[in-house]
Amino acid sequence: MEQEISGRSAVPPLAVRDVLAGERLRLLTLCQELNHDLESIADSSASSNADDEHDPEGATVAYERAQVAALLAQSTLRLNEIDEAVQRLERGSYGICASCGEPIPAERLLARPTAQTCIRCAAQDGGHRDPQRA
Protein backbone atom coordinates (compact mmCIF):
# COMPACT_ATOMS: atom_id res chain seq x y z
CA MET A 1 0.00 0.00 0.00
CA GLU A 2 2.05 2.92 -1.28
CA GLN A 3 0.83 6.34 -0.39
CA GLU A 4 2.08 9.77 -1.21
CA ILE A 5 3.62 11.12 1.94
CA SER A 6 4.83 14.51 0.78
CA GLY A 7 2.33 17.26 1.20
CA ARG A 8 0.87 15.71 4.31
CA SER A 9 1.42 17.33 7.66
CA ALA A 10 3.25 14.24 8.87
CA VAL A 11 6.18 16.12 10.36
CA PRO A 12 5.85 15.69 14.09
CA PRO A 13 6.26 18.60 16.47
CA LEU A 14 9.78 19.12 17.75
CA ALA A 15 8.46 18.07 21.14
CA VAL A 16 8.44 14.44 19.99
CA ARG A 17 12.19 14.50 19.55
CA ASP A 18 12.53 15.83 23.10
CA VAL A 19 10.12 13.22 24.43
CA LEU A 20 12.09 10.45 22.69
CA ALA A 21 15.42 11.78 23.93
CA GLY A 22 14.12 12.10 27.48
CA GLU A 23 12.54 8.65 27.43
CA ARG A 24 15.74 7.17 26.00
CA LEU A 25 17.83 8.69 28.78
CA ARG A 26 15.36 7.50 31.41
CA LEU A 27 15.45 3.94 30.04
CA LEU A 28 19.25 3.91 29.77
CA THR A 29 19.48 4.94 33.42
CA LEU A 30 16.85 2.37 34.37
CA CYS A 31 18.70 -0.40 32.50
CA GLN A 32 21.93 0.52 34.27
CA GLU A 33 20.19 0.40 37.64
CA LEU A 34 18.54 -2.93 36.83
CA ASN A 35 21.86 -4.38 35.68
CA HIS A 36 23.37 -3.22 38.93
CA ASP A 37 20.47 -4.76 40.87
CA LEU A 38 20.93 -8.07 39.07
CA GLU A 39 24.60 -8.06 39.96
CA SER A 40 23.97 -7.33 43.62
CA ILE A 41 21.25 -10.01 43.75
CA ALA A 42 23.70 -12.46 42.21
CA ASP A 43 26.28 -11.44 44.81
CA SER A 44 23.92 -11.88 47.72
CA SER A 45 22.73 -15.28 46.49
CA ALA A 46 26.31 -16.40 45.95
CA SER A 47 27.23 -15.51 49.51
CA SER A 48 24.21 -17.31 50.95
CA ASN A 49 23.58 -21.03 50.87
CA ALA A 50 22.28 -21.23 47.28
CA ASP A 51 22.31 -25.02 47.22
CA ASP A 52 19.42 -25.31 49.62
CA GLU A 53 16.31 -25.05 47.45
CA HIS A 54 14.10 -25.07 50.51
CA ASP A 55 15.77 -21.99 51.90
CA PRO A 56 12.97 -19.39 51.92
CA GLU A 57 15.49 -16.62 51.37
CA GLY A 58 16.83 -18.43 48.33
CA ALA A 59 13.34 -18.51 46.85
CA THR A 60 12.91 -14.80 47.48
CA VAL A 61 16.21 -14.07 45.77
CA ALA A 62 15.22 -16.19 42.76
CA TYR A 63 11.87 -14.40 42.59
CA GLU A 64 13.50 -10.98 42.89
CA ARG A 65 16.03 -11.89 40.23
CA ALA A 66 13.30 -13.02 37.84
CA GLN A 67 11.38 -9.80 38.45
CA VAL A 68 14.40 -7.61 37.79
CA ALA A 69 15.42 -9.67 34.75
CA ALA A 70 11.91 -9.34 33.30
CA LEU A 71 11.91 -5.61 33.91
CA LEU A 72 15.33 -5.32 32.30
CA ALA A 73 14.20 -7.26 29.23
CA GLN A 74 11.12 -5.02 28.99
CA SER A 75 13.19 -1.86 29.29
CA THR A 76 15.71 -3.08 26.71
CA LEU A 77 12.87 -3.83 24.30
CA ARG A 78 11.44 -0.38 24.88
CA LEU A 79 14.86 1.16 24.35
CA ASN A 80 15.01 -0.57 20.96
CA GLU A 81 11.60 0.88 20.11
CA ILE A 82 12.87 4.35 20.98
CA ASP A 83 15.95 3.85 18.81
CA GLU A 84 13.78 2.72 15.92
CA ALA A 85 11.51 5.71 16.39
CA VAL A 86 14.56 8.00 16.27
CA GLN A 87 15.66 6.24 13.07
CA ARG A 88 12.21 6.81 11.56
CA LEU A 89 12.53 10.47 12.53
CA GLU A 90 15.84 10.62 10.64
CA ARG A 91 14.37 8.87 7.60
CA GLY A 92 11.30 11.05 7.62
CA SER A 93 8.90 8.14 7.96
CA TYR A 94 8.11 8.94 11.56
CA GLY A 95 4.50 9.64 12.41
CA ILE A 96 3.11 7.71 9.44
CA CYS A 97 0.88 4.78 10.29
CA ALA A 98 2.71 1.59 9.24
CA SER A 99 -0.62 -0.02 8.50
CA CYS A 100 -2.75 2.49 6.59
CA GLY A 101 -0.20 5.19 5.69
CA GLU A 102 -2.19 7.98 7.31
CA PRO A 103 -0.44 10.47 9.58
CA ILE A 104 -0.62 9.50 13.24
CA PRO A 105 -2.19 12.31 15.30
CA ALA A 106 0.39 14.35 17.21
CA GLU A 107 -1.45 13.78 20.49
CA ARG A 108 -0.97 10.03 20.12
CA LEU A 109 2.71 10.44 19.27
CA LEU A 110 3.27 12.64 22.29
CA ALA A 111 1.46 10.16 24.53
CA ARG A 112 3.18 7.18 22.92
CA PRO A 113 6.21 8.39 20.95
CA THR A 114 7.07 4.91 19.67
CA ALA A 115 3.63 4.31 18.16
CA GLN A 116 3.86 2.94 14.61
CA THR A 117 0.18 2.79 13.86
CA CYS A 118 -2.74 5.18 14.26
CA ILE A 119 -5.30 4.54 16.98
CA ARG A 120 -7.77 3.00 14.52
CA CYS A 121 -5.28 0.47 13.15
CA ALA A 122 -3.93 -0.26 16.63
CA ALA A 123 -7.47 -1.03 17.76
CA GLN A 124 -8.06 -3.33 14.76
CA ASP A 125 -4.75 -5.01 15.43
CA GLY A 126 -5.69 -5.82 18.98
CA GLY A 127 -1.99 -5.51 19.72
CA HIS A 128 -1.27 -9.06 18.54
CA ARG A 129 0.73 -8.27 15.46
CA ASP A 130 4.40 -7.55 15.98
CA PRO A 131 5.08 -4.26 14.21
CA GLN A 132 8.84 -4.80 14.56
CA ARG A 133 8.64 -7.61 12.03
CA ALA A 134 6.30 -5.93 9.58
Partners of 96 in the β-ladder:
103
What residues make contact with Zn ion under the rule CB under 5 A?
Answer: 97, 99-100, 118, 121
CA dist 16 and 95 (Å) reads 10
Please, which residue, 99 or 114, has the CB nearer to Zn ion?
Answer: 99
* Rounded least distance, CB 68 to Zn ion, Å: 36
Q: How far apart are the first and last CA of the chain?
A: 13
Please, which residue, 75 or 99, has the CB nearer to Zn ion?
Answer: 99
Please, which residue, 34 or 96, has the CB nearer to Zn ion?
Answer: 96
Partners of 103 in the β-ladder:
96
For residue 106, the one-letter residue type is: A
* Rounded least distance, CB 95 to Zn ion, Å: 11
